[in-house]
Amino acid sequence: MNFRNAKFLVAYLIGYISTNLLAQCPDASLFGNQWTRGSFDIVGTQGGTQCTGRVVTVITPPTVTKARYIFDYKNVSDTLAATPQTSFTYTQPGPYCIVQLGTINGKPSLISARIIVYSASKPTFTLSSECDNSLKLLINTTGLAFGRYLVDWGEGKPAQVYTPGQPDLSYTYANAGTYQIKVTGEGTFPLVGCNADSDPQTFEVLNDPAPITNATATVLNNLYSQVSITVPNTLKVKNYSFTKNGTEQTRANSIFIDSSLNATQSSACYQVAYADACDRKPATMPTVCTIYLQADKETLKWSPESPFSTAVNTYTVEKLNENGQVVATYLVGNGTEWPIDISDNDAEVVYRVRATSVNGQTSLSNAISYGRTVKLFVPDTFSPNNDGLNDTFEIKGQLINKLEITVYDRWGNVLYNTKDGTRGWDGTDVNGRELSPGFYTYKIEYTDTKERVYSKLGTVNLIR
């Protein structure tokens, strides 16, 4: 048989190996005396092991001519794809068979070598913590080519070495902050140089819960209360809590609306807090209260508890029109009472209180409607003797819009009439004649600022 014919050689190999050595690494001694054993060396492989991503190079000795290689031999049909290429990179882990076909001294040669390829893909790891400054790290080492791992904890210190089989690693950070943890897999003998870096993972060591920056309670729509909390924007907040009368309610956002409160009847106080990602709350949890406003006769009074987590800087009484717009303000200071403005000519007034904190936050009280009564002051005696004391019968009052005064004698005759509320009766009749001392009947008709009509009938004593 002329084995120098390459096509015949391949056909023979296919027939023989498919019959006897399917899916095995073939050996020349199995083919008979006409076959001789080939020879090659593998660069970068020690002990029959290799890792993915690293080039495997074979070296053909001078004694072998026409050498061709199969780097991933699975069955005899792969011999048809034999190539003179002498390097190959494995991308998947597993056992592989490298086969060399060639000629030595005119005889066909064959030799094979089995290698194990290990994965050199990125290491993966899992972090776990009990919400403190300690961290546990678990490396997934299954099927990887790495004989050891270098753990960089992100603090700028030398990496910690981990060998598969050791207990899981743990680390304690000295300071709060955000750290990038990275693991490097390193191949050891016989896989020296098979290295890979993991993707970094972030771990945050939290500070102790920071104090609440601001908290405010205010009356909303003159019915409910709204409580808001402000915390440093660097915090990671799990939830916010609002406790009223011992009952705590939590919210995902920092604003709580208490629709169970009737703000026109009472105030309410709330202890506010937040929980961080580790369910820790700040050491100080302030209490804020809505402002409850009421009228006590001619005085406005309101609840003294602060609506802020800080102090109240000043209170302002606001006068509102029928559309709820502020039409007048009265600065009160730190007091919680204010005498109603007697010079205000409106018969019905709506008031509310605005509190301002030392940090500039504001809080509103409930609004109250205060009805003012028209007041008329009528003297019962006057003495028109030009001594400068009580010389005229003069009418005074509050909240009076229009006024008409009529004076009669005992028989019902009109002695005096005016619609000028600033003029007084001087004790003369319509002709300007002085009237005799005695009692005279008067009738006063007037309206308030709401155009409501009133009248008063009485007598006045004229003394000369």
Q: Exposure string (b/e) for 78-90, b if CB count within 10 Å is 16 or more?
A: bbeebeeebebeb
Chain centroid to Cα 402, Å, comes to: 60
Structure tokens at 193: 């140089």
Domains and CATH numbers, the chain: 6-118 (2.60.40.10), 124-205 (2.60.40.10), 214-371 (2.60.40.10), 375-462 (2.60.40.1220)
Global confidence as pTM: 0.55
pLDDT at position 45 is 58
C-alpha pair distances (Å), 459 with each of 133, 409, 454? 92, 10, 17
Antiparallel, parallel or unpaired: β 49-51 and 107-118 = parallel
C-alpha pair distances (Å), 25 with each of 74, 350, 380? 8, 100, 135
* Amino acid symbol at 122: K
pLDDT at position 350 is 93
3-state secondary structure of 135: strand
pLDDT in tens, the chain (464 residues): 333 333 333 333 334 333 333 347 888 877 788 889 999 999 865 657 888 888 899 999 999 999 999 999 988 889 889 999 999 999 999 999 999 999 999 999 999 999 999 889 999 999 998 888 899 999 999 888 899 999 999 999 999 999 999 999 999 999 989 999 999 999 888 888 889 999 999 998 888 899 999 999 999 999 999 999 999 887 889 999 999 999 999 999 999 999 999 999 999 999 999 999 889 999 999 999 999 999 998 899 999 999 999 999 999 999 999 889 999 999 999 999 999 887 777 778 899 999 999 999 999 999 999 877 778 899 999 999 988 899 999 998 877 889 999 999 999 999 999 999 888 999 999 999 999 999 999 999 998 877 889 999 999 999 98
pLDDT at position 372 is 72
| β-bridge partners, 442 | 407, 458
pLDDT at position 380 is 95
